[in-house]
C-alpha cells in the first residue's frame, strides 16, 4: 500500500516524474505524459539515499531519448554545469526532400545546422569541448549529424568514484572487483573519448560497470540506474 506520493519533476514538454514511496520501503518512479496520464517508463528501487552532485539530476533523465525533451536544455546543460556529456543530433533535410512546402518540425537545412553548431562552439565557456560524435547517418529524406559537448577532463575529476560505489551499495548493489576496476578505468579516461565506441558504446552499455559509467556520463540520478539491475555478476 502506498504511503506517500509526490511529483519530483515536471518538464516544459508535459512529462511528469511521479515518485511513490511504499510502506515496505520500496519506491516506484513513474514517468507519465501529463496530457493523457500515459505511463512511459517505470523505475523501481529501494528507498535509499542517492548521490548528491550538480551533474546528476532529473533534467538529465528527461533527455534520455525515451520521450520528448527540452532540446534547448540538452544543448546547454554541459556549459551550465548540469551534466558532463551531451550527445546532440540534428536532422538535415536532403535537397528536394520536401518540395514546395516548409520543412517539418525537427528538420533543418545544412546551412541552419552549420550555423547552430557554430553558435554553440563560439559560446563554449572555458573547460568545455565540442566535437563530432560519429559520422553522419544517411536516411531516406535526411542526414543526421551527431555532435557532442562535454567537460574537459575525466569523470573522476567531477564525481568521487568511492562515493558512487557507496551509493550503489545503499541500493543493495555490491559490485565485484572486475566491475569496480572497469568503472575506475572508464572514469579515468578523457570524457571526450566517449564519442564513438572505442571504449564503450554509452548508448548500449553491455555490463553493470558500463551502465554505471553511462549514468555518470549523462547525469542520471543514481537510483534510476540502480533500478535497471539487481545483482550484477562478479
**Would you state the cell numbers that stand for residue 31, as one nine-digit string?**
514517468
Phi, psi of 53 (to 5 degrees): -160, 140
Question: For all residues of the chain together, what is the average pLDDT?
Answer: 91
Place of cell 564513438: 196
* pLDDT score recorded for residue 2: 56
**Any idea where the domains of the chain sit in the sequence?**
2-46, 71-151, 154-226
Name the pLDDT band for 139 (thresholds 50, 70, 90): confident
Q: What are the pLDDT digits (tens) for 56-82?
A: 999 999 998 777 888 899 999 999 999
- Lookup: cell for 104: 517539418
- Percent of the chain whose pLDDT exceeds 70: 96
User: Cell numbers of 13, please?
Assistant: 514538454
Q: Is the pTM of this model over 0.85?
A: yes
The DSSP secondary-structure symbol of 98 reads S
Q: So what's the pLDDT on residue 78? A: 98
Angle of helix 161-170 versus helix 208-218 axis, rounded to 10: 110
Amino acid at each position: 500500500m502506498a504511503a506517500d506520493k509526490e511529483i519530483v519533476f515536471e518538464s516544459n514538454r508535459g512529462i511528469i516524474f511521479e515518485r511513490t514511496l511504499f510502506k515496505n520501503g520500496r519506491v516506484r518512479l513513474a514517468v507519465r505524459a501529463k496530457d493523457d496520464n500515459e505511463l512511459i517508463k517505470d523505475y523501481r528501487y529501494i528507498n535509499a539515499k542517492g548521490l548528491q552532485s550538480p551533474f546528476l539530476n532529473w533534467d538529465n533523465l528527461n533527455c534520455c531519448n525515451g520521450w520528448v525533451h527540452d532540446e534547448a536544455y540538452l544543448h546547454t546543460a554541459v556549459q551550465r554545469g548540469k551534466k558532463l556529456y551531451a550527445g546532440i543530433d540534428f536532422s538535415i533535410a536532403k535537397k528536394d526532400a520536401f518540395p514546395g512546402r516548409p520543412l517539418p518540425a525537427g528538420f533543418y537545412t545544412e546551412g541552419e545546422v552549420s550555423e547552430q553548431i557554430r553558435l554553440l562552439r563560439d559560446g563554449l565557456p572555458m573547460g568545455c569541448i565540442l566535437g563530432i560524435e560519429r559520422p553522419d547517418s544517411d536516411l531516406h529524406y535526411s542526414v543526421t549529424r551527431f555532435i557532442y559537448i562535454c567537460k574537459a577532463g575525466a569523470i573522476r575529476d567531477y564525481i568521487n568514484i568511492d562515493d558512487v560505489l557507496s551509493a550503489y551499495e545503499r541500493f543493495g548493489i555490491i559490485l565485484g572487483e572486475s566491475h569496480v576496476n572497469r568503472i575506475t578505468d572508464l572514469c579515468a579516461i578523457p570524457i571526450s573519448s566517449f564519442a564513438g565506441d572505442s571504449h564503450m558504446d554509452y548508448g548500449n552499455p553491455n555490463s553493470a560497470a558500463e551502465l554505471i559509467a553511462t549514468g555518470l556520463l549523462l547525469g542520471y540520478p543514481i537510483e534510476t540506474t540502480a533500478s535497471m539491475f539487481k545483482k550484477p555478476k562478479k
